A and B are shown apart, each in its own frame.
Chain A
Amino acid sequence: MTATAVQAASSPPPKAGRETRPVRSAPDVNAGRRAVQASWRYLIAAVALVFALFPIVFIISASLNPLGSLTSSNALFSAVDAGSYVDLLSDPAHPYARWFGNSMMIGGVTAVATVFLGACAAYAFSRFRFKGRRGGLLTLILLQMFPQTLAYVAIFLLLTTLKDVFPILGLDSQIGLIMVYLGGALGVNTYLMYGFFSSVPMSIDESAKIDGASHARVFFSIILRLVAPILAVVALLSFIGTLNDFVIASVVLTTPGKQTLAVGLYQFISQNFSQNWGVFAAGAVLAAIPVVLIFLFLQKYIVSGLTAGAVKG
C-alpha cells in the first residue's frame, strides 16, 4: 500500500487536484441530456460507494453492537452501545491501550528518524558533487527492490544473534524493531526527497553561505524549512507503512505487552473469532480513525505530485 503511494508521490505525471479546470465537454449539450447523462453516472457512483463502504459501515456497526458476536453484527445498527469499547480498553486479557501506544510510539519514532536520515542523505546527494554519487543513488534504488519483508528470516536470525550481545537491540525489543525499520529509511525516501531538494535553487544556499552560514546551518535552518511538505509526506507514509507492518513486527516482538496493533489484534481475533468480534471491531475503528484522518489530509499531497513546494526552481 505505501510502496505504491510512494510511487505515486514520486512520479510527476498524475497532477490532479485541479478541480477548477475539469475537461469541458462539448458546449451543445442541453440541460435535459445533461441530467440523463449525470444520472447514470450517479448510479455507478452509488454502486461503487456501496462496494467501497459496506465493510467499513459494517465494522463501525459491529463495534457498537452490544452483543459483540459476529452473528449479531449482521443486523446493521440494530442496537447501539459502547460496551465493546469499554471491554476493549478495560479487559487486561488484551492490552489494547498498550498495543495502540506501542504502534504510535514505534510508528512515530520510525517516522521522525526516517525523515531525518532520509533528509540528510537527500541533502548530500542534491547539494554536493562527490565520487560515487550517481552509483550511490542507483544502489539505493536497487536495494529498495529487496524489501525487508522478504528478508524476515535473516532479520530474525540477525536479531537472535544480537540478543546475546545487546539484549536491547535483539528479539522482543521495540528499539530493535525500530532499528530494523530504520534500515529501510534510505532507499525510496531518499530518492523521493532528492527530487524535491533539487527543486530548491542552489542560489539560496549560496547566498546563505556568503552571509557566513555553515553547511549544517544551511541544512537545518534553510533547506529543511523549504522542503517541509515532502518531510511531512515521508513522515506520514513511513508512519502508515510501519503501522501496517505485520511480518517483521510479529517475528520480532513476542511478549503480548510489547506488540503492535497489527500483531496484537490479529492474535486476539484468531483466538476466538466469532465471540471476540465486537471487541475487535471497536479496536479496529479506534485504530483506523487516526490513520484515515491522516490519509485524507495527506491525499492532497500524494495526488498533486507534491507540487506544493515552497520554492520551485
Chain B
Amino acid sequence: MTGQSLTEAPPRRRRESHATAWVRGFALKLILLCAVNALGLYGVIAAVAVKSWAIAAFLAVALAVVDVCYFSKRMIPAKYLIPGLLFLLVYQVFVILYTGYAAFTNYGDGHNSNKQDAIDAILGRGSERLPDSLSAPVSILERDGELYFLLPSDQAGQALLGSATTPLHLVDDAVFEGSQPTGLPGYTTLEARQILAQQSEIGNLAVPRSENPADGFVRTTDGMNAYTYVSTMAYDPTADTITAADGTIYSDNGQGNYASEAGERLEPGWKVTVGFSNFTSIITNKSLRGPFFGVLVWTFAYAILTVVIAFALGLSMALVLNHPTVKGRRILRALLILPYAFPAFLSAMVWQGLLNSKYGFINQVIFGGADIHWLESPWLARLSVLVVNVWMAYPYMFLVSTGAIQSMPPELEEAARVDGAGWMRVFWSVKLPLLLVSLAPLLISSFSMNFNNFNSIYLLTEGGPLENPTDMAGSTDILISFVYRLAFGGVNRQYGLACAISLLIFIIVAGISAYSYRKTKVLEEMN
C-alpha cells in the first residue's frame, strides 16, 4: 500500500458512492413519501367527507409527524420506529384503550348506537299507516348492500329516492316504464325473487319522507306498493321525552334507554357509560356470577394442568431418549415433535373427528364400538380438551427440556454420583432444580399462552357442552371463549361485558407475566 493510494483513494470513493447512493436513495425516499402523502391526504379527505373527525384528525397528525420526521436530518431513531409505531398505535394501543372504554359502557344489542339513532329508530318503529295516504308503486334498489326505495314524484321525469339513512329526494336520471320509475344508473333493481329473499329487511325498511321525522316514513309490506306511515310516538326535544299515543311519557333513564315511570323501556336504547356496573354485575348478577367463576376456575385448572402434564411428559421423554444407548435419536425427535409442527387449528379439528361419539376412531376402534360421549358430557369433554391440548403442547416441552438437559454440564451429575447419589436423587436434587431455573420462564409464558388458548377449546367443543340450552357458559369454556360467546355467540350480544372480562383476563395475565419477568430478570438484561 503506497502513501498515494492512502491519501487519494478514500475521497474518490466517497464522492462516487455517496453521490450515486445519495441520489438514488433520496429519489426512492421522495417517491415513497409522495405516495404516503397522497394516500394520507386521500384518507383525510375521505374521513372528512363522512364526518369522521377523529379519524381525519389522527391521519392529519400522523401525516405531519411522518413528513417532519423523514424530511428532517435529525430524529434518526424515529425514522425507523414510526412505521411500526403507527400500526401499533391503531391496531394495538387504540384497540386496548377502546376495550378499556367499552368495558365501562352498556355497548351491545339494544345499545348499539348514539341517542339520536335510538330516537329515530323508536319513532320509526312505533308508527301506523296514515288512513288517507295513497299507495304508490315502489321499486326496490340496492347499492353496496344498502336498500333504496324508488318512487314516482310530482315532477315530470324525476323520481324520489331514499334509504333508511337518506330521506327521500329527487333524482334526475331514473329509468321509467310508463309513469313508474324502475331503475337508476349505478343501482341494481331487485327482482321479485330477490325481494322475496330479503323480505324481512324490506319489510323493516322505513324511509323518512324528509329530514323531519314528524313528516313520517315510507314503508312497504309487499315490495310492490309503498304507504306513508306516521309515528305514533312524539319526541319533545326540549324536555327530552318521548310521548306515546296513549299519553305515556318516556324519559331518559340515564342508562341508555327511554323509560316510563312504571319502568317500561322503549327499545332500542343507546350506548352510555355505565361506570363499573359491568364489573360489579359479575359479582352481583346471579345468572352471571355462577358461570363466570366456574369458567375462571376451569381456565386456571386448564392452563396449569396443561403445562404441568405436558412438562412432565416432555421432560420424561427427554430424559428417556436423551441417552447415548438410544440409536436414531435425531429421527425419533423429529417424529415426536410432529404434533407441534402440525398447524394447531387443524389438530383441534382432527381430534374432533377422532373423538366423535358415533363414528370416531377412539370409540369405534380403540373402545370397540362403545358409545362414550367424549365431547358431549361435561367432565369427559374437559378431559378431552385437556388430553388434546397436552398432545399439542408436550412436544414443545420435550424440545426445550432436551435442550436444557444437553446444556447441563455433565460434571454435576458425575459429582453427585461420586457422592453416592442414585439416579432418583440425582434427578430430584440436581437435574430438576437446575432445569426449573432455566425453564421456569418458558413454563410461565406457556401458562399465559394456554390461559388464552382459544383455538384448542373453540375448535374442539366451541366451549360446550351446555348443560342447559340457556346457560351462559359451556363446560369447557375458558375465559376467552366465554368472552367470544358473550360478544358473538347468541342473540344478545354484550360487547360491554365482553370487554370488561377481556380487561380482567389482561390483568390476570399481565400480573403473572410481570411476576415472571421479575423472576427471570429480563429487565436487568436490557441495558
Contacts and interface: CB of A to CB of B under 8 A. Distances in A.
Interface of A: 1, 3-5, 7-8, 11, 13-19, 21-26, 34-35, 37-38, 41-42, 44-45, 48-49, 51-53, 55-56, 58-59, 62, 69-71, 73-74, 116-118, 120-121, 123-125, 128, 130, 133-134, 136-138, 141-143, 145-158, 161-162, 164-166, 179-180, 182-187, 190, 211-212, 214-217, 219, 240, 243-244, 246-247, 251, 261-262, 265-266, 269, 273-274, 277, 280-281, 284, 287-288, 291-292, 295-296, 299, 302-305
Interface residues of B, number: 127
Contacts, number: 361
Contact of A284 (B327, B346, B446): B346
B453 to A, nearest CB: 9
B40 to A, nearest CB: 12
B396 A262 contact: no
A23 B335 contact: no
A288 B334 CA distance: 15
B46 A166 contact: yes
Given A14-B438, A150-B452, A4 B396 contact: yes
Interface in B441-495: 441-442, 445-446, 448-449, 452, 454-455, 458-459, 480, 483-484, 487-488, 495
A33 B395 CA distance: 29
A175 to B, nearest CB: 12
Given A16-B402, A183-B87, A266-B459, 5 more contacts: A42-B326, A153-B487, A186-B87, A211-B10, A277-B353
Interface of A is mostly: helix
Contacts of B78: 124
B326 to A, nearest CB: 5
B176 interface: no
Given A38-B325, A48-B317, A266 B91 contact: no
Given A41-B321, A288-B342, A183 B92 contact: yes
B276 interface: no
A261 B526 CA distance: 39
Interface in B341-398: 341-347, 349-354, 356, 358-361, 364-365, 391-393, 395-396
Given A14-B404, A143-B96, A1 B392 contact: yes
B84 A154 contact: no
18 contacts: A5-B396, A14-B402, A14-B439, A19-B329, A35-B325, A53-B335, A74-B365, A117-B87, A141-B522, A145-B506, A150-B505, A185-B84, A212-B18, A246-B454, A246-B458, A265-B346, A288-B343, A304-B403
Given A23-B413, A71-B364, A165 B52 contact: yes
B324 A22 contact: yes
A23 B321 CA distance: 12
Given A58-B361, A153-B499, A121 B46 contact: no
B340 A295 contact: yes
Contact of A287 (B50, B346, B364, B459): B346
Given A48-B336, A55-B351, A146-B506, A124 B81 contact: yes
